[in-house]
């Protein structure tokens, strides 16, 4: 399965490298995309669940890395839940070998 990583910039300015076990993340997040906090979390949740389901279909078990990544995204987003107008920027999407998309 083609793994992808995506770098995001949180409202506080810190960046985070995130993991997806599938290219489906490209259907939900775009390089340079700026998303309202709740929208970013929901897009990530949907994409990572689909990606995990794809792993399950191919290998017979869900991707625990995808669920762990989602938990980390939700935890980080929680720190900004009370910040009005908080936005998350997708800075990059790249392959497991480091090549850009």
Quick: pLDDT tens for 62-95.
Answer: 899 999 999 999 999 999 999 999 999 999 999 9
Average pLDDT, the chain: 95
Tell which wins on pLDDT, 22 or 2: 22
Q: Hey, is 19 helix, strand or coil?
A: strand
Quick: pLDDT tens for 13-32.
Answer: 999 999 999 999 999 999 99
pLDDT at 1: 64
Q: Hey, is 35 helix, strand or coil?
A: strand
Checking if the pLDDT of 97 tops 90, the result is no
The model carries a pTM of 0.93
pLDDT at 34: 98
CA distance 77 to 70: 10
What is the token pair recorded at 96?
């497991």
Calculate the CA dihedral of residues 55, 31, 19, 15 and round it to 10 degrees.
-160
What does residue 32 show for φ and ψ, rounded to 5 degrees? 85, -5
């Amino acid at each position: 399965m083609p793994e992808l990583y995506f770098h995001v910039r949180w409202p506080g300015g810190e960046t985070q490298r995130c993991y997806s076990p599938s290219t489906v993340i490209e259907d939900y997040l775009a390089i340079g995309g700026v998303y309202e906090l709740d929208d970013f979390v929901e897009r990530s949740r949907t994409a990572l669940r689909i990606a995990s389901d794809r792993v399950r279909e191919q290998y017979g078990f869900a991707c625990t890395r995808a669920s762990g990544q989602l938990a980390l995204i939700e935890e980080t987003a929680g720190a900004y839940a009370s910040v009005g107008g908080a936005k998350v920027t997708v800075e990059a999407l790249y392959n497991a070998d480091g090549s850009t998309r």
